[in-house]
Amino acid sequence: MDQKSAGLNITIFFCQQLDANQDANRRVLERELGSRIKFFPLPCSGRIEPLHLLRALETGADRVYLIICPEGACRYREGNLRARKRLAFAQGLIEEIGLEPQRLELIQTTQGDQLTIDQRAHDLLARKAAFGPNPAKLQGSRGQANNARTLEPMNPGTPDVYQGVHYDYSGKKTFI
Amino acid sequence: MPPKYNIHTSPVPNRFQSITKSGVIAWEEGCLKCARCVKKECVYKVYEKRSLDTRQMLDTLDSECQDCFRCVQNCPNRLIQKGLNPTYKVLGDHYWTPEIISSLWFQAETGRIPVSGGGYGGPFSGPGFDAMWTDMSEIVRPTRDGIHGREYISTNVDLGRKLMFLELGPDGSIVSPAPPLVEIPLPVIFDILPWSPPREKINLSLLECAQSLGTFTVVRQSDLTPDLEKYLPHIIVHVDGKPENLPPELIKRLRMIEIPDSENVMAVQAMLKEENPQLVVIIRMPLNSNASERALQLTGQGAEVLHLYADEYGLEEVDQPLFIKERVKEIHLRLVEEGVRDQITLIASGGIAMAEHMAKLIICGADALTIDIPLLVAMECRVCRRCKEGIACPVEIDQVDPAWGSARIRNLMAGWHNQLLEIMGAMGMREVRRLRGEMGRAMFFEDLEKEIFATMGKRG
């Protein structure tokens, strides 16, 4: 069964440089799938942080994709390389809590492919549903309150992470 | 003299993170772990207050940032990159530009007028309202105290038919009955929205605000629900069904009603006025090349108020559309020429996006105007028109709390009202009623161009 018919919630982060007309192109899918598909355009994939990916899983996504520019084609030089490392870092974190790391996936586009964002999303939706719903989804009242929840502190308990120090994504699962 | 009209404002925070002009583009790596990190030195403490809106995956960093660029400049390894936000650049469309939308957001959030500094870097002239400049000859002294202090500038307008003279009986009594007039304290009425998500709460917000401002909201007959009853004195019912289906007791309680233009529109007006002689009837008619002829005809037949509408870009819905200000000017001048302009009230709508458009359209000959999209933008609309396509609103306008929505619109209207005062103060006008049709107090690009360049380039 493909991911679309399996009713999975898909979240797609993508670099806006990939499709100049992304806002119009993604609407057909948004209409068709409603809240089951969420698109989050990024100015550059180098803007992504592991927290975005984790929060996406936490707020109901079953699969999270990050679509980045082809290697060497980042408008801001190394944004796509950074994105790759950050996704790997987040994968490590979810693996530690017992989730399949493949729930977060990097989609590297290739040079010269001119696919629009909806075509890419269609491809992703047509993939085989390898996992069921995300077990990490919030249950009970907190889960229902997801929509009402707007702003959450980014740094609960680890004040240094965002305030003064950049993440170190060198493969170690430590912040500093 | 009545007390000064003042709109009370208070800051009303956004429900969603707004889309900002600039933002962090990418995070570089290679932190040197300085003892004094630029993030800790941020004077606005944006890095300390950081949080993430999970509905939109937007960081408060961008919306709280004041663009001082200290962190960008001072990070020894240049790890923070800020730039123009691509999402901002694609907001709205060619007419409802990101600048207009963000300025409306600012006014709705703060209730203050937008002040831009650093000189004007834009083009000299542009299409539509940008091809028009208003007079500022009266700015000869600090005007602040004048406008907002002791001087009285009235923004009241009257809607209805006006008598040109009184007929007196042999005993000196007035025999010509005065037609009903409705006075509103600012020349703005809230119109039917061209598109929106489900409208129940939006309508409540508009009505709540119209009530607090003393103006009106146009509500479709089909949208009338019992819970709107308490707002009836501030509702203009737009008859989108059969007028005969309107309950007489409703007509009796209304102050204004709007009917679409049709062959037998005057008969409908007469029928409505029979039910309620104090009712002011508005005839809604589209702007097109026949509009001035039709306006003249209706004025002759006894119409009270004409609502001339264009589309959301201020254009007529025809093949070769004219911009609203040109057509309103034409209609106004035609009625002036025929000597009937003062008998009728003209309301114009379509493409009014900023406070200056309001003043400019009044100069072109409208008595008052109605607005639509700015009302949605005040409630955080991004003019993405997803609702029009049946997609859920990204900022959930259908879920607004009417108290919040009304406070946002009130703030926006306060900003517009103050800007209208500024514009009129600069012209030395003390009455918005006198501003109507004052084309001598404005310059039009086309006229100037003709005046200066008409003789040049002529061959032979």
Structural domain boundaries in chain A: 10-163
Identify the burial level of B416 via C-beta atoms within 10 angstroms of its C-beta, where 0-12 means exposed, 13-18 middle and 19 or more buried.
buried
Q: Are residues B77 and B223 in the same domain?
A: no
What phi and psi values does residue B333 have, to the nearest 5 degrees? -65, -35
Contact B63, B21 (CB under 8 A): no
A47, A51, A153 ranked by CB distance to B24: nearest? A47
B26 and A46 within 8 Å at the Cβ level: the answer is yes
Closest CA to B425 of B166, B35, B135: B135
Distance CA B378, CA B105 (A): 6
- Residues B263 and B381 reside in one and the same domain: yes
What is the average pLDDT value for chain B, to the nearest integer?
Answer: 92
From B33's Cα to the closest Cα of chain A, the distance in A is 6
**Average pLDDT over every residue of B330-351:** 96
- Asked whether the beta carbons of residue A47 and residue B33 sit closer than 8 angstroms, the reply is no
> Does the residue B460 lie in any domain?
no
Answer yes or no: is pLDDT of A87 > 70: yes
Cross-chain residue pair B52–A147, CB shorter than 8 Å = no
pLDDT value at residue A160: 35
- Is A126 an interface residue toward B (CB < 8 Å)? no
Provide mean pLDDT across the span A95-116.
Answer: 92
- Residue B125's pLDDT band, with cuts at 50, 70 and 90, is confident
pLDDT digits (tens, 9 = 90+) for B180-198: 999 999 999 999 999 999 9
**Residue pointed to by tokens 């589209």:** B286
Length of chain A as a residue count: 176
Answer yes or no: do B67 and B177 share one domain.
Answer: no
Q: Does B206 have pLDDT greater than 70?
A: yes
**Residue B315 located in a structural domain:** yes
Residue B411 reports pLDDT greater than 90: yes
Q: CB of B15 within 8 Å of any CB in chain A?
A: yes
Q: To the nearest whole percent, how much of chain B has pLDDT over 90?
A: 73
Q: Are A124 and A107 in contact (CB under 8 A)?
A: yes
- In a domain, residue B386? The reply is yes
Task: Identify all chain B residues contacting A167, using CB atoms and an 8 Å cutoff.
Answer: 29
User: Is residue B161 located within the same domain as residue B82?
Assistant: no
Residue B460 pLDDT greater than 60, yes or no: no
Window 154-173 of A, Cβ < 8 Å to B: 154-155, 162-169
Residue A170 has pLDDT above 80, yes or no: no
B-contacting residues of A 41-80, CB under 8 Å? 41, 43-47, 49, 51-52, 55-56, 58-59, 76, 78-79
Query: What is the CATH number for B49?
Result: 3.30.70
Chain B residues closer than 8 Å to A30 by CB: 386, 391-392
**What is residue A165's predicted lDDT score, i.e. its pLDDT?**
37
> What is the predicted ipTM?
0.85
The reported pLDDT for the residue numbered A138 is 54
How far apart CA A52 and CA B257 sit, in angstroms, is 51
- Amino acid A156: pLDDT: 45
Which tokens in the block code for residue A164? 């003064």
How many cross-chain Cβ pairs, A to B, lie less than 8 Å apart?
109
Query: Average pLDDT in the B407-412 region?
Result: 97
Q: Which parts of B111-181 fold into alpha helices (H)?
A: 144-145
Residue B331 within a domain = yes
Q: How close does chain B come to A5, measured CA to CA in Å? A: 20
In terms of pLDDT, which residue wins out, B115 or B98? Answer: B98
Cβ atoms B100, B353 nearer than 8 A: yes
Q: What are B165's two structure tokens?
A: 């003279």
Q: Indicate the residue among B90, B109, B138 that finishes a domain.
A: B90
A10-163 CATH, one of 3.30.56, 3.40.50, 1.10.3470, 3.30.420: 3.40.50
Question: Chain B window 354-393: which residues touch A at a Cβ cutoff of 8 Å?
Answer: 384, 386, 389-392
Cα–Cα dist B103/B106, whole Å = 5
Distance to chain A for B47, nearest Cα, Å: 6
pTM of the model: 0.90
**Which one of B37, B56, B391 has the shortest CB-CB distance to A31?**
B391
Q: Which residues on neighbouring strands pair with residue B159, listed in sequence order?
A: B182
Q: Give the containing element (helix H, strand E) for B102.
A: helix B98-110
- Does A152 sit within 8 Å of B54, measured CB to CB? yes
Domain end call among B90, B110, B125? B90
Domain assignment present for B7: no
Alpha helices in B136-263 (DSSP H): 144-145, 200-213, 248-253
Q: How confident is the model at residue B115 (pLDDT cuts 50, 70, 90)?
A: confident
- Of the candidates A49, A85, A151, the beta carbon closest to that of B60 is on A151
Q: Which residue has the tokens 């997803």?
A: B386
Does residue B27 lie within any of the structural domains?
Answer: yes
| Domain end call among B90, B121, B138 | B90
State which residue of chain B sits closest to A32, comparing Cα positions: B391
B54 part of contact set with chain A, CB < 8 Å: yes
Q: Do residues B162 and B249 both lie within one domain?
A: yes
- Is residue A153 very low, low, confident or very high in pLDDT (cuts 50, 70, 90)? low
What's the rounded mean pLDDT across residues B7-32?
91
- Cβ neighbors of B17 (< 8 A, separation 6 or more) are B53, B56, B58, B59, B60, B62, B63
Q: Is B459 domain-assigned?
A: no
Identify residue B449 by its one-letter amino acid code.
E
A76 to B25: CB separation less than 8 angstroms, yes or no: yes
Neighbour count for residue B164 (Cβ, 10 Å):
9
Among A42, A82, A150, the strongest candidate for a mutation testing the B interface, having the largest count of B CBs within 10 A, is A150
Q: For residues B218 and B203, what is the distance between their CA atoms, to the nearest angstrom?
A: 9
Q: What's the gap in Å between the CA of A103 and the closest CA on chain B? A: 18
Answer whether residue B347 is part of any domain: yes
B292 and B224 in a single domain? The answer is yes
Residue numbers in B near A43 (CB within 8 A): 23-26, 83, 85-87
Tens of pLDDT, residues A24-48: 999 999 999 998 999 999 999 999 9
- pLDDT at B456 (0 to 100): 81
* pLDDT range class, residue A154, cuts 50, 70, 90: low
Q: Which residues in chain A are contacts of B64 at CB distance < 8 A?
A: none
pLDDT higher than threshold 90 for residue B265: yes
Model confidence over B244-261: pLDDT tens digits?
889 999 999 999 999 999
A151 vs B128, higher pLDDT: B128
Residue B459 has pLDDT above 80, yes or no: no
Is there a single domain that holds both residue B265 and residue B164?
yes
Query: What CATH number did the domain enclosing B393 receive?
Result: 3.20.20.70
CB–CB contact B57 A166 (8 Å) = no
CB B420 within 8 A of CB B359: yes
Of A13, A78, A153, the CB nearest to B51: A153
Report pLDDT for A139: 56
Half-sphere exposure of B160 (CA within 13 A, CB side): 18
Instruction: Tell me: pLDDT of B149 over 90.
Output: no
What is the count of structural domains for chain B? 2
Domain interval for residue B421? 149-450
* pLDDT beyond 70 at A143: no
Q: What is the dihedral of CA B75, B80, B83, B87, to 10 degrees?
A: -160
Residue A12 has pLDDT above 70, yes or no: yes
Question: Within this chain, do residues B206 and B336 fall inside the same structural domain, yes or no?
Answer: yes
Show residues of chain B in contact with A13, CB under 8 Å: 57
Q: Taken in order B311, B316, B322, B327, is the CA torsion positive or negative?
A: negative
Per-residue pLDDT reduced to its tens digit, B214-223: 999 999 999 9
In which band, very low, low, confident or very high, does the pLDDT at A147 lie, cut at 50, 70 and 90? Answer: very low
Chain A within 8 Å of B38 (Cβ-Cβ)? no
Round to whole Å and give the CA distance between A106 and A108: 6
Residues of chain B contacting residue A161, judged by C-beta atoms under 8 Å apart: none
Query: What gap in Å lies between CA B51 and CA B425, rounded to an integer?
Result: 43
